[in-house]
Chains A and B, each alone.
Chain A
Amino acid sequence: MILRANNIEFYYDSKQKFKIPDINLDTGEQMLILGKSGSGKTTILNIIAGLLKPRSGKVEIGQTDIYALKGSQFDKFRGKNIGIIFQKPHILVPLTVEENLQLANFFVEENTHLIEPLLKELGIWDKRKAKINTLSEGEAQRVSIARALVNKPKLILADEPTASLDDENAASVVRLLQEQARKYGAALIIVTHDQRVKDHISNQIIIGGQL
């Protein structure tokens, strides 16, 4: 098992406890977490991503109980093992495409030599020296996918990756995510309310009732 998130409970207010279904994924497995906005699906993503400590329960990635890690050790572990793709690309604007990827390598102190193959596979190699604000939305989203993959993570999390894209681009982004996750042997979780994604991944959890 690459990801084990069991018995997880979270609440901001103890009267409104929020139980999260157990999630267990193996290498190369993929899962869709569907839910309306406000259903708490981003909270789940944050907990799995190691950004938000649950009130109870354990999140294990590989053999590591991630919330037992401390300080910069935790940061390095997260940077190395979890690749996150946000709804908006959120690429660092002062840096070029290539430098955004180099930065990810720098922070985990490891050169994965994946920058060139990734950018080539995602069709943005000729944009590697480009400033971020010259990219189209689709290109920017592909840069953020490349950045999430460049440290060879065990787990890829995508938060509403298709929300701002048209049908065609949405389908291609999901396809890209699936392809790349499979290629680098990572587990993939997509969190979304987007009905268009439903048909691509059969392994689904629905949060907060039917859409």
Chain B
Amino acid sequence: MNMIKLSWKYLIAKPLSTGLNILLLALGLAIITVLILIQDQFENKMTKDAEGIDLVVGAKGSPLQLILSSVYHIDFPTGNIDLKDAMALSKNRLVKNIIPLGLGDNYQGYRIVGTNHDYLALYSATFSQGIAWEKPFEVVLGHEVAEKIGLKTGDTFIGSHGIGSSSHEHDAHPYVITGILAPMGNVLDKLILTSIESVWYTHDEEHDHATHEAPVAKKGFPVTDQDREVTALLIQYRNPIAAVQLPRFINSKSALQAASPSFEISRLFELLGIGVKLIQGLAIVIIIIAGLGIFIALFNSLKERKYDLAVMRTLGASSWQLFLHIVLEGVILTILGAVVGIAIGHLFLVILVMQNDQGAISTLSAAVFLKEELWILGYAVIVGILASLIPAWNAYQTDIAKQLTKA
């Protein structure tokens, strides 16, 4: 027998009340856990995916949409821009490097991105199989795409028009898989990468076999004498002055729009922040109610237990041991609540991820444990101590003789 066991015995003597209090606290803490996990992973992932991209240029529209569609590949593109405008921009002395993107097709919901080898270099992509594309209609699959659709190098597939699920299929031009990327833990995992030329030729009406066999541009823009378009440009600045001058210069040109990923992301988080704060507030209210619940449960049980406490004193327990006995009950309750809460939080995330196997949520992982979750345990213990302080003080002051003669 020891103090913890004694408190535990008293807790399980009232399974319903104990269970309810644990559940209520767990619910509040589960919400906090989910928020912490999602926020941390989103911020991490978003920062990682935008690393090395100073500016995104695309068609006029919402700057946030431009960033979401061409950096994170979650929203729809704002439109296409003229290749000539794009190439003109690449000659600007403030631009160090420019990576063109051609979007608009998908295969089973996975986006086909036309680009050059600089895009692979931007994320330091490594291959688990095969090599990068060299000719039109050669593609490289992101790790997750390969896993989900179960294709390997040498296999072919037919892309569909549109960003989301298929509308009509480009049945004239099957893609050939030349490589599969190693797991990168970033946006590449969910993309099908190919050359800009592939995207162009897919949409052409006539078929010119000579051009379809020519090697594609691995850096910069493809050489063409036709009127062509690209969807967006990822730009790296040559120097800090570019951050001031380049966006203003581009936005003043009527056809183009420039947006900074870091600026748009912080704006997005600001917008999301209101919602997060609201949910956080709700969670805190639930935790406070749970704390009150524990307080009331202990306080009420104390009335019935005054006699038990007096008996313990006659058996040799000191006032402090009675105090500890009640505080331990509160703390055991809240530690259990915290453990259950963290478990529910992770379970909730597992279910959430399982139900969304594409899109932003699917990049989350429930198997991540953060330092902040230890804080949750700490907060729970504080709630337990606060809730049990007054009942424990009452227990401390038990007047043995009065209690024992009252019955």
Contact = CB atoms under 8 A, between A and B. Distances in A.
Given A75-B317, A79-B317, 4 more contacts: A72-B318, A75-B316, A95-B6, A106-B1
Given A90-B307, A93-B13, A104 B315 contact: yes
A11 interface: no
Interface stretch (A25-33, A80-88, A198-206): A80-88
Contacts of B13: 93-94
Nearest to A46: B401
A78 B400 CA distance: 12
A79 B314 contact: yes
Nearest to A76: B316
A108 interface: yes
Q: Which 3 A-B pairs have the closest CB atoms?
A: A79-B316, A72-B318, A107-B316
Contacts of A84: 314
A86 B404 contact: yes
B interface majority secondary structure: helix
B400 A104 contact: no
B307 A99 contact: no
Interface of A: 42, 46, 49, 51-52, 71-72, 75-76, 78-80, 82, 84, 86-88, 90, 92-95, 99, 102-108, 147, 151
Given A52-B401, A107-B321, A151 B311 contact: no
B248 interface: no
Nearest to B320: A72
A88 B406 CA distance: 12
A51 B6 CA distance: 23
Nearest to A72: B318
Interface string B373-407: 00000000000000000000000000011001101
B201 interface: no
Contacts of B245: none
B9 A49 contact: no
Contacts of B407: 86-88, 90
Contacts, number: 75
Interface of B: 1-2, 6, 9-10, 12-13, 307-308, 311-321, 400-401, 404-405, 407
B311 A92 contact: yes
A93 B309 CA distance: 12
A196 B321 CA distance: 39
B307 A103 contact: no
Given A90-B307, A103-B6, A106-B2, A46 B405 contact: yes
A102 B405 contact: no
Contacts of A79: 314-317
Contacts of A99: 1, 9
7 contacts: A76-B318, A86-B311, A90-B407, A95-B9, A103-B312, A107-B321, A108-B316
A102 B9 CA distance: 13
B316 A94 contact: no
A107 B317 contact: yes
Most chain B beta-carbon contacts within 10 A, residue among A51, A71, A76, A102: A51
Contact of A42 (B10, B307, B308, B405): B405
Nearest to A79: B316
A95 B1 CA distance: 10
A72 B315 CA distance: 12
B276 to A, nearest CB: 42
A71 B404 CA distance: 19
A163 B369 CA distance: 61
A108 to B, nearest CB: 4
A20 to B, nearest CB: 15
A49 B1 CA distance: 25
A52 B399 CA distance: 9
Contacts of B316: 75-76, 78-80, 104, 107-108, 151
A102 to B, nearest CB: 4
Given A94-B10, A103-B6, A71 B318 contact: yes
Contacts of B308: 90, 92-93
A185 B321 CA distance: 30
A107 B315 contact: yes
Contacts of A108: 315-316
